[in-house]
Homo-oligomer: A and B are copies of this chain.
Amino acid sequence: MHTDFTFIENGTVTSPSGFTAGAAYAGINKHARFNLDTALLASAVPCHAVGVFTTSGFKAAAVVLCQSRVPSSSIRGIVVNSGCANAGTGEYGEPDAQNMLTAAADRLGIDAFEMLIASTGVIGKRLPLEALKTAIASIKFSSNGGDLMAKAIMTTDTIPKQCAVVCGGYTIGGVAKGSGMIHPDMATMLSFITTDAVVETGFLQHALREAVNKSFNMISVDGDTSPSDSVILLANGLAGGETITAGSEEAACFQQALDALCIYLAKAVARDGEGATKLMEVTVKGAASAEDARQVARVITTSPLVKTAVHGCDPNWGRIVAAAGRSGAAFVLEKLSLAIGGALVLSNGQPVPADNDELVRVLGGSEVKIELDLNLGSFAAIAWGCDLSAEYVSINADYTT
């Protein structure tokens, strides 16, 4: 059984065979760090395409369109823009998305129904279609264009997020964006993943859902969720070999590699949360159910009081216990143990005399690990979040203006 996978240097969404990408600037995203806001991803051959999308009742036009189209076995490309979400745009939403799709399909010389689409940015404003069409028509493709795509989809992100893993004879690559409006109720804002593996579509959908539940659905920046959230996975089969189907040894290997890739990207999103200065990793074990474990971990990563304490290197562990207690999960204070950065502060509900200076030092690191043992069962989960800083407030107090 292959259980080995390796992250490759400078890996990105165009690392798997047959994928190319390019990007341009349409002037939609006024804050674009790399002067790019529009990207196209293309596959040399039709792909199996699966996706996981926002669970919000308020869905962007692009999400509605993609959900009507996947799973599919005939997707050739994805077009995406940042700076405008084309959400809450009323009767204009769907036709504007269709026009953007058509322009992208024209650029690739394919049919519009072979394309998927995503938009991220301000809600309630229309896409500037003419500028977008001009930008799309100008895009040049290359096999290392994934880096440009990672840059073009950024909004308040400060760094592009991309990676790739090789596993057996195939590669899986991906890009992601998302810095605010991130909460584990669904996917992150946007992530695009590709593979040249030959994978049966039903298993592909299942594998993506599994990986998303362990990664993008376990991160939080601010508890807010977006109408645009989408994770799309394209598999073009160009690596050849046996088809990977559910239950096989290769399927387990593929799942492990996909999990690792999604966790890498999700952690990168959490670490780059708006205004964040550090990554918070919350591990919960001993929960009475899997859902309880997830819920406790997520409530802690979302708590403004925990996030501000982590920001201020303040070992105020009572806030972590308070968040766990109000999570709705089965909880018995007298059984709870809690460690921060490996230092035990509560053991079976009894406070443990802790070295305050050591706790402050641990909280000052770029990654803060919080571990809870509920001692009620055998279920575990890991969630990731970030600290809450004054910078988060200033970023969001004047985002549209």
Q: Contact residues of A with B, CB < 8 Å? A: 54-59, 85, 87-91, 122-124, 180-181, 183, 185, 222-227, 302-305, 308-309, 311-312, 314-319, 321-327, 329-333, 345-346, 349-351, 388-390, 392-401
Contact = CB atoms under 8 A, between A and B. Distances in A.
A56 B397 contact: no
A321 B396 contact: no
B309 A397 contact: yes
Contact of A90 (B223, B314, B349): B349
Q: Which of A88, A123, A333 has the most CB of B within 10 A?
A: A88
A316 B400 contact: yes
B302 A333 contact: no
Contacts of A123: 316-319, 321-322
B308 A397 contact: yes
B314 A400 contact: yes
Nearest to A122: B318
B326 A225 contact: yes
Given A88-B333, A180-B305, A333-B88, A324 B58 contact: yes
A104 B314 CA distance: 33
Q: Which of A56, A185, A318 has the most CB of B within 10 A?
A: A318
A55 B327 CA distance: 10
29 contacts: A57-B326, A57-B327, A57-B330, A58-B321, A58-B322, A88-B318, A88-B333, A88-B346, A89-B351, A90-B351, A122-B318, A123-B316, A123-B321, A124-B317, A124-B346, A183-B326, A223-B304, A224-B304, A224-B323, A224-B326, A304-B392, A308-B393, A308-B397, A314-B397, A314-B400, A315-B400, A389-B393, A390-B393, A390-B394
- Majority-rule SS of A interface residues: loop
A57 B325 contact: yes
B57 A333 contact: yes
Q: Which of A185, A303, A315 has the most CB of B within 10 A?
A: A303
Contact of A393 (B59, B311, B316): B311
A314 B399 contact: yes
Contacts of A323: 224
Nearest to A318: B123
A7 B346 CA distance: 47
B393 A350 contact: no
Contacts of A329: 57
Nearest to A223: B304
Contact of A350 (B56, B90, B222): B90
User: Which 5 residue pairs of A and B lie closest in terms of their CB atoms, listed nearest first?
Assistant: A123-B318, A58-B325, A312-B397, A57-B331, A390-B390
A113 B183 CA distance: 46
A227 to B, nearest CB: 6
Given A85-B318, A309-B396, 9 more contacts: A57-B332, A58-B322, A90-B351, A123-B322, A124-B317, A124-B321, A304-B304, A308-B395, A314-B401
Contacts of A312: 396-398, 401
B56 A181 contact: no
Q: Which of A56, A303, A309 has the most CB of B within 10 A?
A: A56
A66 to B, nearest CB: 17
